Amino acid sequence: MPIFIKKKMPRYHPNCEEEIRKLMLLKNSDFHKALYESYCPLVYGQFSTFCRDHAKAYELTEKVFEIAKAELENNRLIKGKLLVWLLNIARKVSRDYLLDYSVKKSDDNRCIKRLVLSEGFSTQEAAGILGISMQEAIFSLRQQLKE
């Protein structure tokens, strides 16, 4: 269910933070549209750096704004700048996407050493991906590093 996806990307307005916060406090119906139009290019830019498929980047951008809308509907207080808040949501969405993408890769080349050193996963995350315990992951990593 797309909320605000447009074909043409809106432009970023750097001085809009105060106006958007006023709309948010007044619970104005235009708040979500203003938030999207102001911050969409920056959020989309986070995904376009690693996602070559523009449709997938738009889908991930849409997901960020859906999560933001859900958090606001649950009366979550936003501390700090709106851009930082949205980019933190984008970081979590991109991490989930990359974890899913990494798991979908062929399992032939998957080893703890590659996951931790090359792909940047923590030992705990790598253990979860490989379906082994944390102790087994640490032992296996030490063994592979000794080789």
| pLDDT one-digit tens code per residue, 51-83 | 777 888 888 989 998 998 888 888 777 778 888
Looking at residue 15, its pLDDT comes to: 61
- The answer to whether the Cα torsion of 84, 39, 65, 50 is positive or negative is negative
Residue 4 has pLDDT above 50, yes or no: no
Average pLDDT for 40-52: 82
User: Measuring CA to CA, which residue among 119, 117, 138, 142 is closest to residue 127?
Assistant: 138
